[in-house]
C-alpha cells in the first residue's frame, strides 16, 4: 500500500478511500470485542449445539465394530465378524480407558446396557476363543437379541438424530419409524410448555405491576420520582441469588409473611407460598419487574403531556384519552419490556429451583441435570438447541407483530 | 504526568522485590523438601480424599497412628470423586497417588477398568466379621455412612419409628424433605409398601416393582419438599419447613452435637453405603499403601474414627471397642442396624437414567 498520490480531480475516489478507511478503523476498533464474543460466546455455544447431533463415543473407541455393523442389514443376528469386532473393540476400549464412556453412552438407549458392556468386557479380556459368537451368546442372552445389536449400530452412527428426538420425547422405533416414548418417561415436551407458560404468566404479571409504577415514575415531580426510582434500581442491582434466598426466607411456612398473617389472625394455617408455582411466580415476577418498569419508563419519559391535554380539551373522557392517546404512545416501551422479560424468564434456573416444587421444573433445570448428573451432554445440547430455536422464532414473530426496530430499550 | 510516573516506578519496584523474596523462599523450600525427601524417600504416602470433616477424622484415626507406628508420613490432596484424573495418570504412566478414598461406584468402575491394584484380603487376617460386600477385589471399606430420616423432637411428640411412618400422612401430617433423586426414595417406598429390605433390588429390578415404588411415592407427592445439598436437610428441619426429612446421618449428628438441635434419627430402613480405600495400579509406594490399608482396617482404627465423625466401622469386631454413648449414633450399631439396605451401586449405575426420567414424569404430572 503506497500512500495515495495527490489527486487533483479525484474527489470521488478520495471520498471512497476515506470512507473505506473509516470503515476499516471502525472494524479495527470493534475487532477485540468481536474476537472476544466469538471465542467466549459463539464458539462454545456452537460446540454445545453441535453435541446434539455428534455421536463419537462408540465409533471412536471401537472403530472395527462400527465398520462391521455398517455391513449388517439390521435383521436377525449379525455374523461372526461383528461379534469378533465387539470383543476386540471391548478389549481395545478397556485398554484405552474409553470403556466407561462407551458403556454410559449405550445406557442412554437402554437401562442395564452399561452393565452388559462391563460384564462382557470382563469376560472377553481373559479369553481368545476361535469364534466369538457362541461365547457371547452363551455369556448373556441379550447378545442373542437383534434389538441389542440395532441399538449398538445406532450408537455407532454419527451424526445421530437420537438426541434431538429424545429432547422432544420421541425415539426411533425398531422398524425405523419415529414414535413418542411411553408416557411415564416423557418429560421434556411438558417441561417446554411449562417453561413457556411460566414465562408468559410472569411477563403478564410484570406488565400489570410495572405499567402503573412506570407511569408514576414518569409523571411525579423529579425529586419524588428520583426517590421512587431508587426503590426500583436497588433491587435491580442486587444479586439474583440474594433476592431469591430473601424470598425463600420470607415465604417459608415459618417465614415472615406467614408468621405475620398468623399473628394478626388473618389465617389459621400457614399458607403454602413456597415449593410450588406461587413461589416461582412471586420470585420471578419480583426479580424481572425492574426490566419491565425501566423499559416502559424510558418511553413514558419522552411522551409529551400536550397530546393528553389536547384530547381532554377536545372533550374526551380521561379514561378514553388515557387508553386511546397515552397508551398507544407507550407501546414501544411495553413491547421492549415484554420481550426482555419473556426471553429472560425462559432461561430461569436458580429461582424455580429454590422456590419451586417438583411440578415447577423449567427447561434450564433439566438441561443442568443432564449436564451435571446424567453426563448426557448430547441431550443437554439438544434441549439447548430447542430453547435457542424457540427464542429465535419468538424474536421473529415478535418482530413481525411489533417491530423490533420500533422498540426502545431505554 | 509526574504522579503517573511515580506510580509506575513504585509498582515497577514492587514485583522485583517480591520476586527476590519469593525466590529466596523457594530456595529454602526446595532445600527443605530435598532434605525431607531424602529422609523419607520411600516413606511418604500420597493420599487423595474428599477432604473436609471426613479427612480430618481420618487424619486423627488412621494417618497419625500409622505414622507413630511406622514413621511413614502422609501428604494429602483433595478431589471431588470421579476417575478422570486417575485414568490420565495411569495412561501417562506417572501415577503420583498411592492411596485413594473412593465412592462405591468409582471403586467398582476403577476395579473393572484395571485402574486399581488387586488387594489381597488375606493380608488383613480374619475377615469373617466384615459386613457383606465391604471388601472387594480391589478395595476395602474405610467406613459406613447412611441415609436415614430424621425429625425434630420438639415438634413431633409422637415419635415416628418406622419407614412406614414417613409415608403416613394421616398419623404425621406435614411436609417431607427428600433428596431430589430417586435413589433411596425408591427403596424406602417399596419397604414402606411391605417389601423386605433384602428383596428391595430384586423387586426394583422389574418394571412392576418400579411402578409399585412410584405408586407409593405418589401418596406423599404433594407433601414432598426437595433438597439437593446435604446441608439443606437439617436446615429444612430447623426452619420447620418439613416435619421429617431424609438426611445423611453425619449431618444430623453434627446438628445434634455441634448445634444442639433437638433432632432424632430414625434408623429403620436406613440405606447405607461404604467409602473405600483403593491403591492405583501404578502407585509408587503400593506396598506401604497396602500395609496402611491393613492397619486402617483393624477394629481399633475403625473404632477410633467414630470419635471424630459419626461414620461406622464396616466390621463387627470394632463395635465393642466403641464407647456406649457414641454407639447409638452410628449406622451399624445393633439397635440401628435392624432393617438396613445396602445401596446397590450397580443397580443405580444401570437404571439411574431411566428411573430419573420416570420420576420426573410422575412428579410433574
Write out pLDDT tens, residues B29-54.
444 444 444 444 458 999 998 877 78
- Residue A130's Cβ-side half-sphere holds a number of Cα atoms within 13 Å equal to 0
**Cα-based angle A240, A242, A244 (whole degrees, multiple of 5):** 70
pLDDT of residue A404: 66
- Position A136 pLDDT exceeds 90: yes
Q: Is A252 on the interface with B (CB under 8 A)?
A: yes
B241/chain A closest Cα distance in angstroms: 6
Local confidence band at A358 (pLDDT 50, 70, 90 cut-offs): confident
Average pLDDT for A375-395: 92
Contact B35, B64 (CB under 8 A): no
pLDDT at A11 over 90: no
CATH architecture, domain A188-406: Orthogonal Bundle (1.10)
pLDDT band at B237 (very low <50, low <70, confident <90, very high): very high
At residue B82, the pLDDT reads: 74
**What pLDDT was estimated at residue B140?**
96
Enumerate the residues of chain B whose CB falls inside 8 A of the CB of residue A361. 360, 364
Closest residue, chain B, to A92 (C-alpha): B113
At residue B90, the pLDDT reads 84
* Cβ–Cβ contact A250 with B under 8 A: no
**Between B92 and B237, where is the model more confident?**
B237
Tell me the pLDDT tens digit for each residue of A193-214.
Answer: 999 999 999 999 999 999 999 9
Mean pLDDT value across chain A: 89
Q: Which residue of B has its CA nearest to A112?
A: B350
Express each pLDDT in A235-291 by its tens digit: 999 999 999 999 999 998 888 999 999 999 999 888 889 888 999 999 999 999 999
Contact B114 A94 (CB under 8 A): yes
Cβ(A153)–Cβ(A69) under 8 Å?
Answer: yes
Residues in chain A: 410
More confident residue, A370 or A217: A217
C-alpha span between B58 and B36 (Å, rounded): 23
CA R_g for chain B: 25
Instruction: Report the mean per-residue pLDDT for chain B.
Output: 85
pLDDT at B81 over 80: no
Please list every residue in chain A whose beta carbon sits closer than 8 Å to the beta carbon of residue B358: 184-185
Short-list A139, A18, A42, CA closest to A90: A139
B364 contacts in chain A (CB < 8 Å)? 187, 190-191, 194, 358-359, 361
Higher local confidence (pLDDT), B171 or A5? B171
Distance CA A273, CA A405 (A): 40
A100 touches chain B (CB under 8 A): yes
- Residue B201 and residue A112: Cα distance in Å, rounded? 14
Would you say B189 and B217 are in contact if contact means Cβ atoms under 8 Å apart? Answer: yes
In this prediction, residues B282-298 reach a mean pLDDT of 94
Q: Report the pLDDT averaged over residues A41-58.
A: 91
Contact B50, B79 (CB under 8 A): yes
* B166 confidence band (pLDDT: 50, 70, 90): very high
Q: Determine, for residues B112 and A121 on separate chains, whether the beta-carbon distance falls below 8 Å.
A: yes
Quote ipTM for the complex: 0.71
Using CB atoms, pick whichever of B214, B350, B364 lies closest to residue A111.
B350
Distance from CA of A128 to the nearest CA of B (A): 19
Q: Tens digits of per-residue pLDDT, A108-131?
A: 898 889 889 988 988 888 888 899
Q: Is the entire prediction scored with pTM above 0.80?
A: no
Give B167 to chain A, closest Cα distance, Å: 17
pLDDT at A328 over 80: yes
Contact by Cβ (8 Å): A398, A404? yes
Whole-number percent of chain A with pLDDT over 70: 96
Contact A295, A340 (CB under 8 A): yes
Residues 120 to 149 of A: which have CB under 8 A from any B CB? 121-122
For residue A344, what pLDDT band results from cuts at 50, 70 and 90?
very high
Query: Is A253 in Cβ contact with B240 (below 8 Å)?
Result: yes
Picking from B225, B228, B361, the nearest residue to A186 by CB comes out as: B361
Judged by CB atoms closer than 8 Å, whether chains meet at B240 and A254 is answered as yes
Q: Which comes out higher in pLDDT, residue B201 or B1?
A: B201
Q: What is the pLDDT of residue B17?
A: 43
| pLDDT (mean) for A156-160 | 90
Q: Which residues of B lie closer than 8 Å to A, measured between beta carbons?
A: 83, 87, 90-91, 109, 112-114, 175, 214, 221, 224-226, 228, 239-241, 346, 349-358, 360-365
| Mutation to test the B interface, candidates A92, A100, A110, A123, most B Cβ within 10 Å | A100
Q: Do A275 and B226 touch (CB under 8 A)?
A: yes
Higher-confidence residue of B14 and A101: namely A101
**Which of A94, A190, A254 has its CB closest to that of B113?**
A94
Contact B171, B238 (CB under 8 A): no
Q: What is the pLDDT of residue B52?
A: 72
- Give the total residue count for chain B: 365
Report CB contact under 8 Å: B221, A358: yes
| pLDDT of amino acid B162 | 95
Closest approach of A232 to chain B, Cα-based (Å)? 30
- Tell me which chain A residues have a C-beta less than 8 angstroms from the C-beta of B90: 97
**In chain A, where does the domain assigned CATH 1.10.3720.10 lie?**
188-406
- Whether A40 shows a pLDDT value over 80: the answer reads yes
Least reliable range by pLDDT among A1-10, A109-118, B28-37, B339-348: B28-37
Nearest CA in chain B to A183: B361
Amino acid at each position: 500500500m503506497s500512500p495515495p498520490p495527490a489527486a487533483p480531480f479525484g474527489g470521488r475516489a478520495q471520498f471512497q478511500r476515506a470512507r473505506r478507511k473509516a470503515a476499516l478503523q471502525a472494524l479495527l476498533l470493534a475487532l477485540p470485542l468481536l474476537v472476544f464474543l466469538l471465542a467466549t460466546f459463539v464458539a462454545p455455544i456452537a460446540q454445545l449445539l453441535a453435541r446434539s447431533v455428534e455421536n463419537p463415543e462408540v465409533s471412536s473407541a471401537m472403530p472395527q465394530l462400527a465398520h462391521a455393523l455398517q455391513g449388517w442389514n439390521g435383521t436377525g443376528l449379525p455374523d461372526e465378524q461383528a461379534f469378533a469386532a465387539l470383543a476386540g473393540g471391548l478389549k481395545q476400549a478397556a485398554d484405552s480407558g474409553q470403556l466407561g464412556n462407551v458403556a454410559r453412552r449405550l445406557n442412554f438407549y437402554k437401562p442395564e446396557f452399561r452393565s452388559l458392556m462391563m460384564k462382557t468386557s470382563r469376560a472377553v479380556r481373559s479369553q481368545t476363543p476361535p469364534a466369538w459368537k457362541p461365547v457371547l451368546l452363551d455369556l448373556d442372552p441379550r447378545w442373542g437379541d437383534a434389538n441389542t445389536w440395532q441399538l449398538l449400530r445406532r450408537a455407532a452412527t454419527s451424526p445421530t438424530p437420537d438426541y434431538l428426538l429424545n429432547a422432544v420425547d420421541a425415539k426411533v422405533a425398531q422398524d425405523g419409524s419415529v414414535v413418542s416414548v411411553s408416557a411415564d418417561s416423557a418429560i421434556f415436551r411438558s417441561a417446554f410448555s411449562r417453561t413457556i407458560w411460566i414465562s408468559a404468566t410472569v411477563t403478564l404479571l410484570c406488565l400489570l405491576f410495572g405499567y402503573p409504577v412506570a407511569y408514576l415514575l414518569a409523571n411525579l415531580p423529579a425529586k419524588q420520582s428520583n426517590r421512587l426510582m431508587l426503590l426500583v434500581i436497588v433491587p435491580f442491582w442486587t444479586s439474583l441469588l440474594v433476592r431469591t434466598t430473601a424470598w425463600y426466607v420470607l415465604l417459608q411456612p415459618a417465614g415472615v409473611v406467614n408468621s405475620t398473617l398468623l399473628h394478626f389472625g388473618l389465617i389459621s394455617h400457614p399458607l403454602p407460598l413456597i415449593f410450588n408455582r406461587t413461589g416461582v411466580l412471586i420470585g420471578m415476577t419480583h426479580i424481572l419487574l425492574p426490566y419491565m418498569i425501566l423499559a416502559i419508563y424510558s418511553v413514558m419519559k419522552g411522551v409529551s403531556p400536550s397530546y393528553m391535554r389536547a384530547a381532554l380539551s377536545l372533550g374526551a373522557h380521561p379514561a378514553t384519552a388515557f387508553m386511546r392517546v397515552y397508551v398507544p404512545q407507550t407501546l414501544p416501551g411495553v413491547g421492549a419490556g415484554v420481550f426482555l422479560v419473556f426471553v429472560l424468564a425462559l432461561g430461569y434456573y436458580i429461582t424455580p429451583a429454590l422456590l419451586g416444587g417438583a411440578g415447577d421444573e423449567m427447561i434450564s433445570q433439566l438441561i443442568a441435570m443432564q449436564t451435571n448428573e446424567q453426563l448426557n451432554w448430547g441431550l443437554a445440547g439438544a434441549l439447548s438447541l430447542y430453547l435457542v430455536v424457540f427464542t429465535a422464532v419468538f424474536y421473529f414473530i415478535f418482530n413481525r407483530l411489533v417491530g423490533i426496530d420500533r422498540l426502545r430499550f431505554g | 504526568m509526574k504522579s503517573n510516573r511515580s506510580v509506575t516506578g513504585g509498582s515497577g519496584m514492587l514485583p522485583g522485590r517480591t520476586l527476590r523474596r519469593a525466590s529466596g523462599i523457594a530456595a529454602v523450600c526446595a532445600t527443605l523438601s530435598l532434605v525431607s525427601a531424602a529422609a523419607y524417600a520411600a516413606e511418604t504416602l500420597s493420599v487423595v480424599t474428599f477432604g473436609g470433616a471426613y479427612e480430618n477424622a481420618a487424619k486423627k484415626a488412621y494417618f497419625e497412628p500409622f505414622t507413630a507406628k511406622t514413621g511413614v508420613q502422609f501428604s494429602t490432596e483433595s478431589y471431588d470423586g470421579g476417575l478422570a484424573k486417575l485414568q490420565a495418570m495411569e495412561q501417562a504412566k506417572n501415577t503420583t497417588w498411592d492411596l485413594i478414598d473412593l465412592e462405591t461406584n468409582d471403586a467398582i468402575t476403577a476395579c473393572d477398568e484395571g485402574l486399581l491394584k488387586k488387594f489381597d484380603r488375606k493380608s488383613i487376617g480374619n475377615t469373617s466379621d466384615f459386613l457383606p460386600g465391604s471388601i472387594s477385589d480391589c478395595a476395602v471399606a474405610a467406613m459406613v455412612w447412611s441415609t436415614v430420616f430424621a425429625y425434630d423432637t420438639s415438634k413431633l411428640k409422637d415419635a415416628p419409628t418406622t419407614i412406614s411412618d414417613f409415608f403416613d400422612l394421616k398419623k404425621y401430617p406435614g411436609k417431607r424433605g427428600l433428596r431430589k433423586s430417586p435413589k433411596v426414595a425408591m427403596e424406602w417406598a417399596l419397604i414402606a409398601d411391605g417389601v423386605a429390605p433384602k428383596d428391595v433390588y430384586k423387586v426394583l429390578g422389574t418394571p412392576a416393582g418400579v411402578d409399585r415404588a412410584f405408586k407409593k411415592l405418589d401418596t406423599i407427592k404433594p407433601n414432598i419438599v426437595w433438597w439437593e445439598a446435604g446441608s439443606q436437610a437439617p436446615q429444612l428441619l430447623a426452619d420447620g419447613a418439613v416435619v421429617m426429612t431424609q438426611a445423611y446421618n453425619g449431618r444430623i449428628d453434627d446438628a445434634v452435637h455441634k448445634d444442639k438441635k433437638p433432632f432424632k434419627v430414625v434408623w429403620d430402613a436406613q440405606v447405607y453405603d461404604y467409602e473405600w480405600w483403593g491403591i492405583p495400579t501404578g502407585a509408587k509406594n503400593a506396598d506401604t499403601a497396602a500395609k496402611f490399608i491393613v492397619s486402617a482396617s483393624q477394629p481399633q482404627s475403625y473404632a477410633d474414627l467414630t470419635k471424630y465423625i459419626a461414620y461406622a466401622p464396616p466390621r463387627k469386631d470394632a463395635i465393642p471397642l466403641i464407647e456406649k454413648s457414641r454407639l447409638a449414633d452410628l449406622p451399624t450399631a445393633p439397635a440401628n442396624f435392624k432393617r438396613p439396605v445396602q445401596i446397590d451401586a450397580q443397580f443405580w449405575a444401570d437404571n439411574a437414567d431411566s428411573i430419573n426420567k420416570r420420576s420426573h414424569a410422575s412428579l410433574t404430572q
